[in-house]
Amino acid sequence: MIWYYIIDCLGVFVLVDLKTGDLKHQDLGQMQMYVNDYDRFGKTEDKNPTIGILLCKDKSEQMVELTLSKDSNIYASKYELYLPDTKLLQEKLKERFDEETKIEGN
């Protein structure tokens, strides 16, 4: 299932694809095709490059890194059907904050 949004204040077209299973490299290739198609035939020159977002049950970071180029405007993320308990959510936020702090410090 794919949705699309035009965010005029950012001048960007966003494609969102919801997958009911685990992310496969074919899903990334399909999204790349959609993004390329819109950039070539739908986007006007005054707009920013199209962004593709894949939401899936689970994903492999290594597969995403190997499949997409570093300058790609395609992002994949795992979705949750239920919010985690408060303690787990706090741990995940702390991990993410620590990662960002470490990156900014280098």
- Model pTM above 0.95: no
At 24 the pLDDT is 92
Is 97 buried (19+), middle (13-18) or exposed (0-12) by CB count in 10 A? exposed
Tell me which of 58 and 6 has the higher pLDDT: 58
Q: What is the mean pLDDT of residues 67-77?
A: 89
**5 pLDDT tier (thresholds 50, 70, 90):** low
Q: Percent of the chain having pLDDT more than 90?
A: 32
Q: What is the mean pLDDT of residues 2-17?
A: 76
| Beta pairing, strands 74-78 & 12-18 | unpaired
Mean pLDDT of the chain: 85
